[in-house]
Structure 1
Amino acid sequence: MTLPASSTHATGAGRSALLDHATSAALPLTVLLLGLFFTLESPAFLTVDNLISISVQVATLMTIAVPSAVLVMAGKVDLGVGSLLALSAVVAGLSFPHLGIGGTIVLTLAVGALVGLVNGILIGGLAMSPIIVTLGGLTLMRGMAQWLSPNPLFGFPDAFTYIGYGRVLGLPILTWIMLAVLAAGVVIMRFSAIGRHSIALGVNQRAAFLVGIRVQRTTILLYVAVGLATALAALMSIARINSAPSGTLGVGMELSVLTAVLLGGVPFSGGRGSLLRVALGVVLLGMLANGLILMNARTEVGLMITGLVLILAAGLDILRRYRS
């Protein structure tokens, strides 16, 4: 017996709604279950001190992930953030004796903005491939960082490193910076023109151009924002560890950022997304890393699990595309 067309349509709509709810609930449910698992395995996990420690551990990742998520929503990507993190840190470490704290901060942020500007011009202005340009930058900037400082830099001013361990109103300064970046990103995406324009670029760049959106300028601004945020994250990192190792700092950061963005529901093709869900993806990665440390898991186990999480995130992206 053939079902009526209306019945078939209703069945399809019901399946689509079920899939929609399942993919939407996957991330928060995973966070809850993971938290429960680590709490059962190690009672120290669900303590105020440890939760604050997790917030510090994910502060740099969150700072970079927020503008990077907006960039992916616009259909672009930056795979060089890990190397820019190292280069910015080395520039800062070399500058402290000559420029002081204020001058060093300004110069470091300027380096990040300049790299973002170059990426934006090459990708937005000259229509070069974002993957090729930023992969080239990943290798180039890591080499520059190691050329400028083959050995780790350390011994930064106490007034600067205070940012890495100091607290305000009971929360670490790094946590406050992270929350400020997240709040700024949410406000910009919700109330500013660039937020709407970024989504429009991800949906259809040609159509966005035809309705009057300045595609090149928007693309350049997004890459500059990622560069600035990465330089800020570099300052946060070296303030926390009081060192700037050119060879290891930021290694794998681009994969962590991309994992958090995909986990947060931003499709790699762009066109939609929520920064709050991306923030939840960052929290999930932080919980995972922290919990494995409390369980004394081996380093290679953590790497394998992180890789599986990235594959899972890619699978969720496919489900979302199938749903839509």
Structure 2
Amino acid sequence: MTDTSIKSPGTGRLGNRPSRLSVDHLTAVALPLTIVGLALVFYWSSPVFLTSANIVDISVQVATLMTISIPFAILLMAGKVDLGVGSLLALSGIVAGLSFPDFGIAGAIIITLLLGTGVGLINGILVGWLSMSPIIVTLGGLTLMRGVAQWLSPNPLFGFPEAFSYMGYGRVLGLPILTWILILVLLTGLAVARFTTIGRHAVAIGVNERASYLVGIRVKLTITLLYAAVGFSSALAGLMTIARINSAPSGTLGVGMELSVLTAVLLGGVPFRGGKGSLVRVALGVWLLGMLSNGLILLNVQTEASLMITGLVLILAAGLDLLRSRRA
């Protein structure tokens, strides 16, 4: 099978010990094995878990997470992070819901996607051009955008146009529309990472931003475009979410999304410092979180326990990232 990972320059075997497995090799094998093992455990407890209908349901449940995680992963490969994706998702959903009566479906979608892209561009300018801390900038954006969303609509919005809500439950060629969007986002991300310069430039920036600038890479522009892509995908995820639930509650919409995205990306082997990564493994990380959530629901596990388990997975992902950092 072709290796779709994006590796940092100079990556190779250290020393003369071919029999010794590196941490990267162990995590690469551990993730698919964990998915298989978890699937068997859930199937043993609830045979409906491995039915085709439930697998499709999982794809619908993780569609928004995948939509944000793929561009987010490329951004993290560049050593940058966006912690405001959940709040931008909420703001996008609110803006779309308020725009339907005056601008129609097409107008509301365009306004929402422009909003997300614009927020991403602002983040990119602040981080890429003004060299501000990405954590501080996006944490500020997280609070700001959540506040704006709640100010615009203190009460949940609902009753969206039927033609728009169809995106949340409709099917094309037997698969849900949200699943098709998931597939399109994943294929687009793989194409960008493999066949365009932006994927290689993102990795180079993550390895050494200064050296990347000296060899002619347009570092500031690349960072800005990556943030714009994350903003666009967050707005798209907001549209997908409100179409699926046919509601836009400003207080809860997208809450915790940034943690889920970060967990999936770290599980996928993208280190927090950037410099390398594989979008295929990130997709597996997203799928693992979806399986975990779906399986716990089938087993009637209480919400509190589900949150604790998800938190433990995040800690595990952070631990793997630390091991990879020390190994490097």
TM-score normalised by the chain length of structure 2: 0.94
> What amino acid sits opposite 1:320 in the alignment?
R
2:286 is equivalent to residue 293 of structure 1: no
Residue of structure 1 in register with 2:314 after alignment: 310
1:71-86 aligned at under 5 Å gives the runs 71-86=75-90
CA RMSD of aligned residues (A): 1.4
Residue of structure 2 in register with 1:248 after alignment: 252
Residue of structure 2 in register with 1:147 after alignment: 151
Deviation of 1:315 after TM superposition, in Å, equals: 1.4
Deviation of 1:319 after TM superposition, in Å, equals: 2.2
2:268 is equivalent to residue 261 of structure 1: no
2:233 is equivalent to residue 232 of structure 1: no
Residue of structure 1 in register with 2:114 after alignment: 110
> What amino acid sits opposite 2:186 in the alignment?
L
Residue of structure 1 in register with 2:99 after alignment: 95
Deviation of 1:16 after TM superposition, in Å, equals: 4.1
Runs ≥4 residues deviating over 4 A: 9-12
Deviation of 1:127 after TM superposition, in Å, equals: 0.2
Deviation of 1:75 after TM superposition, in Å, equals: 0.2
Residue of structure 2 in register with 1:323 after alignment: 327
Kindly indicate whether the alpha-carbon contact (under 8 Å) linking 2:28 and 2:281 is maintained by their aligned counterparts in 1.
no
2:200 to 192, 196, 202: 196
Work out the CA distance in 1 between the residues paired with 2:103 and 2:23. 56
Q: Give the number of equivalent residue pairs.
A: 316
| Structure 1 residues 265 and 98: CA distance shift in structure 2, 3 A | same
Deviation of 1:58 after TM superposition, in Å, equals: 0.2
Work out the CA distance in 2 between the residues paired with 1:124 and 1:114. 15
Deviation of 1:318 after TM superposition, in Å, equals: 2.0
Equivalent position SS for 1:233: helix
- Give structure 2 stretches of 5+ with no counterpart: 1-12
Kindly indicate whether the alpha-carbon contact (under 8 Å) linking 2:156 and 2:249 is maintained by their aligned counterparts in 1.
yes
Kindly indicate whether the alpha-carbon contact (under 8 Å) linking 1:23 and 1:319 is maintained by their aligned counterparts in 2.
no
| Structure 1 residues 10 and 145: CA distance shift in structure 2, 3 A | closer
Deviation of 1:72 after TM superposition, in Å, equals: 0.3
- Give structure 1 stretches of 5+ with no counterpart: 1-8
Work out the CA distance in 2 between the residues paired with 1:147 and 1:94. 12
Residue of structure 2 in register with 1:6 after alignment: none
Equivalent position SS for 2:295: helix
2:60 to 56, 60, 82: 56
2:135 is equivalent to residue 126 of structure 1: no
Work out the CA distance in 2 between the residues paired with 1:64 and 1:30. 23
Residue of structure 2 in register with 1:65 after alignment: 69
Residue of structure 2 in register with 1:214 after alignment: 218
Work out the CA distance in 2 between the residues paired with 1:243 and 1:18. 47
Q: Deviations over 1:53-76 (max 9, x none)?
A: 000000000000000000000000
Equivalent position SS for 2:260: helix
Work out the CA distance in 1 between the residues paired with 2:257 and 2:14. 44
Kindly indicate whether the alpha-carbon contact (under 8 Å) linking 2:71 and 2:189 is maintained by their aligned counterparts in 1.
yes
Residue of structure 2 in register with 1:3 after alignment: none
